[in-house]
């Protein structure tokens, strides 16, 4: 089993640019998912504040 060319240090410009693009895409997806979770919990908090549970 051998390592990839990046691990050996033979990074060509196209490989480096592709890896950077892949990292940015994955970071973008992660940020979007976390933002959606945050928006969901904010909407739950607003809804709980405007419609309290009757006791």
For the chain, the domains span 9-50
CA angle 14–10–5, rounded 5-degree value: 85
> Average pLDDT by consecutive 10-residue portion of the chain (55 residues)?
65 82 95 98 93 78
- pLDDT at residue 12, as a whole number: 81
pTM, two decimal places = 0.69
Of 34, 54, 53, 30, the residue nearest 42 (C-alpha): 34
- pLDDT at residue 21, as a whole number: 92
- pLDDT at residue 54, as a whole number: 78
With H, G, I as helix, E, B as strand and everything else as coil, classify residue 55: coil
């Amino acid at each position: 089993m051998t390592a990839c060319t990046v691990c050996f240090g033979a990074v060509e410009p196209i490989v480096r640019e592709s890896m950077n693009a892949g990292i940015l895409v994955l970071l973008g997806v992660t940020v979007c998912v976390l933002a959606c979770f945050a928006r969901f919990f904010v909407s739950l908090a607003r809804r709980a504040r405007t419609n309290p549970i009757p006791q």
